[in-house]
Structure 1
Amino acid sequence: MGGPAVSVAYGIQLPVQSQSTLYAEGWEAGAGAGDLVEIARAADRAGFAYVACCDHVAVPRRLAAAMGTVWYDPVATLAHLAAVTTRTRLLSHVAIVGLRHPLLTAKQYATLDHLSGGRLILGVGAGHVAEEFAVLGADFRRRGAVLDECVDALRAALGPEEFPVHHGKVYDFEGLGQRPRPAQERVPVWIGGSSPAAVRRAALKGDGWLPQGDPRDRLPGLIAGLRRTRAAAGVEAPLTVGAITEPLYVGRPAWDVGRRTLSGSPEALAESLRAYPAMGVDQIQVRFRCRSRTELTDQMAAFAADVAPDL
């Protein structure tokens, strides 16, 4: 694989595990665990920085036509895929941590990190489905404030201490031990969302930021504001800035891939995607138009071999 060193990492939100009508491909409806395993293995071989899985517990009937009801559990799914991969990291994009007590979340994700040899990235977000919060006894109206505290509580509960301590307004615990501990000394916490509150939360509390598919022209302003807020607060730790790219198709498609899809030669795609690191993005989440699992894994391999080296 020739070309200069890759200056921006690339990961992928897994298909099949989340089947909203807004983005799922037709073949995913008949796919299952075996397909997820093969796609994760393909990502591992091709040097993808992570594979990602979403989080919804229950979708109300009023939203089911758009969102669908296929939402695999992220901990179960990522743990299953950890056993068939060796390098690619395992990202929750995003876990709605306000739906669960932080010690429950910590138990699940610490075990995942332990079993995977330290490959977890915990992506968190506020959530948007009121009925989901109501049925689980969580406070939808205060979900932003609860998420802020959850991040602090999870920092403690996923840290090195067997008996973590957190005293907050919503959650209060000490003297309760949890093992196994995470394999990582510090589990990266990436904050999802593009609202002003989410961007501020990422700036002040995150190891990374996961925007919500913002158009390219919005990103430079959001990134600049993020870095200003972080600097003003005196937070000096590195921050991994992400972006979700347009749908991609490596090569000349023989079918209608949609007007928003970037397609063409590897050189043309690389030239277009270099706009992301140029604006300060550290990792891009790529997605590919495809009519089958095989076409998807072929696209992933072509991207890694022919596009990524020139990013």
Structure 2
Amino acid sequence: MIQYGIQLPVQSQTTIYAEAWEAAAGPGDLVEIARTAERAGFAYVACCDHVAIPRRLATAMSTVWYDPVATLAFLAAATERVRLLSHVAVVGLRHPLLTAKQYATLDHLSEGRLILGVGAGHVREEFEALGVDFRRRGALLDESVDALREALGPDEFPEHHGTFYDFQDLGQRPRPAQTRVPLWVGGSSPAAVRRAALKGDGWLPQGDPREQLAARIEDIRKIRAEAAVQGPFTVGAVTEPLYVGTPDWDVGRRTITGAPDALAESLRAYRAMGVHQIQVRFRSRSRAELTDQMAAFGAEVAPLL
């Protein structure tokens, strides 16, 4: 059965997907949404990462971007089972030992619920303000993944010697609760797809239309086969917006609506492509409508997937 998760609203409010009600929402809304996700069988709740938004992008992206570690830790204390995904952490902005300290602590405190999603980032000014070379963000991410494998592994004194980062004999505890923290790589460029195939435990596409997804999944399979990469690998997809039932308001032309069996039939196409987990989102006019949609999806659509 395909798994399903959700990118949390409220914590990022870019105009591409934020609903009007989110502007006045806050911590209590996030807690209720996370608890609803847990009750409705969602595999994870996800939180994304930006440190600072330049003025030129603020109108479109907004400047509302909650810190993912703080937000996921807050929600870990309010839930018991749902997993906690960074979608995605721009790990090149920070030294891997700092990233490891934050996310190892989160995994420890949540008793092993972390999924670390990572990506290269795209906002030049953000890198410049933090003293990081934007042009080398791909190379920084490649090495960060390797360094994080060591820093989040079982060794209290991880060791890594690379081009950008070099450390040894520096102990970090607490260690993650998981023996191996799942590391999913985000992005849909050829470089990102290759990075996910070779270095990741999973792939988080960035809004690929479903008609393009099958070809990218086949690319991942070929890359892994040619490199003889072994082990489980989780293929993800971000679905079109959903609305369970027949809406009496304009939910947008791309939104999939209808009875549970119709939604399930549409979403099963992802499984046929080789997708293991789908990230869903719902059109809504209030937190109550969103949580009602999530509950309906878990009860009526998910069993048909």
Shorter chain as denominator, the TM-score bin is over 0.9
Asked if residue 310 in structure 1 is aligned to residue 294 in structure 2, the reply is no
Shift of 1:90: 0.1
TM-score by length of 1: 0.98
Asked if residue 168 in structure 1 is aligned to residue 162 in structure 2, the reply is yes
Distance 1:275 1:159 in 2: 36
* Matched positions, count: 305
Equivalent position to 1:289, from 283, 286, 290? 283
Match of 2:123 in 1: 129
**SS class of match (2:6):** strand
Q: 2:83 corresponds to which letter in structure 1?
A: R
Distance 1:187 1:207 in 2: 9
Q: 1:212 corresponds to which letter in structure 2?
A: Q
Match of 1:106 in 2: 100
Measured against aligned partners, the alpha-carbon deviations of 1:97-146 in whole angstroms (never above 9, x if no partner) come to 00000000000000000000000000000000000000001110000011
Shift of 1:52: 0.2
Distance 2:38 2:300 in 1: 16
Match of 1:63 in 2: 57
**SS class of match (2:140):** helix
Q: 1:55 corresponds to which letter in structure 2?
A: D
Distance 1:96 1:230 in 2: 24
Match of 1:79 in 2: 73
Structure 2 unaligned spans of 5+: none
**SS class of match (1:131):** helix
Structure 1 unaligned spans of 5+: 1-6
Distance 1:177 1:274 in 2: 46
Question: What are the within-5 Å matches in structure 2 for residues 206-285 of structure 1?
Answer: 206-285=200-279
TM-score by length of 2: 1.00
Match of 2:42 in 1: 48
Q: 1:256 corresponds to which letter in structure 2?
A: D
Shift of 1:287: 0.3
Distance 2:40 2:109 in 1: 22
Shift of 1:236: 1.2
Distance 1:38 1:65 in 2: 28
**SS class of match (1:257):** coil
**SS class of match (2:281):** strand
Asked if residue 205 in structure 1 is aligned to residue 202 in structure 2, the reply is no
Equivalent position to 1:13, from 2, 7, 10? 7
Match of 1:34 in 2: 28
Equivalent position to 1:300, from 291, 294, 299? 294
Runs of 4+ in 1 over 4 A off after TM superposition: none
Identity %, equivalent residues: 79
**SS class of match (2:84):** strand
